[in-house]
Amino acid sequence: MKIAALQMVSTPAWPQNRDAAQRLVRQAAAAGAELVALPEYFCLLGRRDSDKLALAEAAGSGPIQDFLSALAQENQVWIVGGTLPVRHSAEKVYNRCLVFAPDGSAAAHYDKLHLFGFDNGTERYDEGRTLQAGEQAVALQVQSRAGQPWRVGLSVCYDLRFPELYRALMQPPCDLICVPSAFTHTTGQAHWEVLLRARAIENQCYVLAPAQGGRHDNGRRTWGHSLVIDPWGEVLQVLPEGEGLVMAELDPQRLAQVRKQLPALQHRRL
């Protein structure tokens, strides 16, 4: 099963981001991808944290959700819809990752559990001001066109720093973990690849990490480096910066080989 991670440099304008996402999904589908993942905040990187409140949709209904559903159906692919703001209250939203099946139906959703906070004296972020944290880990089964089932675990950006989430997703083991992200340039340069490779190695699964990657209209710079990693921790493909995509093939034999030669998942004691 061929998978793709899309890299974007999203703007404060939803129509512009929508067109970029559509263009990239179509490009991935034309290249044979059966599962396509968008980055965190693919629909909006606003000038202020509160901008996402104005774009927030009700659960199960809204232009962004309708767009993702139609895009999945048009291209006959599974779409991991990065994240979009789903209304929790007048003051807060969920940062929700929605998955749509090739027929356009909603297959699963995951609300980001861990909310990013960072202050190095120059850069300051506090997602808790506008986001409501999710409450549970989420995984689902997708099926390739050839009939091969794959168990896919969902996570978002800052979740990457909390290995206990991924352990929870490994009961039963996932074959693929998706990590839509908008890592800052500062934290991404220091930790992005090493954390993603660690999650792949310790959980012996593929990792697909679509990211925001570049200088945004709001002045923020995101790290990019969207990539695909195999169950041994090998980076299969990476895109450093700018709009584009990376692709790789999920190989059930490779997955089985890694887990057989080093059965670490069976050796867990806690």
pLDDT confidence band for 68 (50 / 70 / 90):
very high
pLDDT at 72: 98
- Residue 235 pLDDT exceeds 90: yes
Convert the pLDDT of each residue in 115-158 to its tens digit: 999 999 988 889 999 999 999 999 999 999 999 999 999 999 99
Query: Residues 91, 53, 102, 5: what is their CA dihedral angle, to the nearest 10 degrees?
Result: -110
Task: Band the pLDDT of 196: cuts 50, 70, 90.
Answer: very high
Q: Is 171 a residue whose pLDDT tops 90?
A: yes
pLDDT at 159 over 90: yes
Mean pLDDT of the chain: 97
pTM for the predicted model, two decimal places: 0.97
Q: Where are the domains of the chain?
A: 2-267
69-111 residue pLDDT tens? 999 999 999 999 999 999 999 999 999 999 999 999 999 999 9
The pLDDT value given to residue 123: 87
Q: What is the pLDDT of residue 223?
A: 98
* The pLDDT value given to residue 35: 99
Q: Please report, rounded to a whole number, the percentage of residues in the chain having pLDDT higher than 70.
A: 100
Mean pLDDT across 40-47: 96
**Whether pLDDT at 17 is above 90:** yes
What positions carry a catalytic annotation?
40, 112, 157
CB 259, CB 243: distance < 8 Å: no
Is residue 49 scored above 90 in pLDDT?
no
Domain 2-267, CATH 3.60.110.10 — does that match? yes
On the question of pLDDT at 250 being above 90, the answer is: yes
In this predicted structure, the answer to whether residue 50 has a pLDDT above a threshold of 90 is no
CB 210 within 8 A of CB 23: no
What is the mean pLDDT of the segment spanning 216-228? 96
- pLDDT category at 170 given cuts 50, 70, 90 is very high
242 has a pLDDT exceeding 90: yes
pLDDT, tens digit, 9 for 90 and up, residues 109-126: 999 999 999 999 988 889
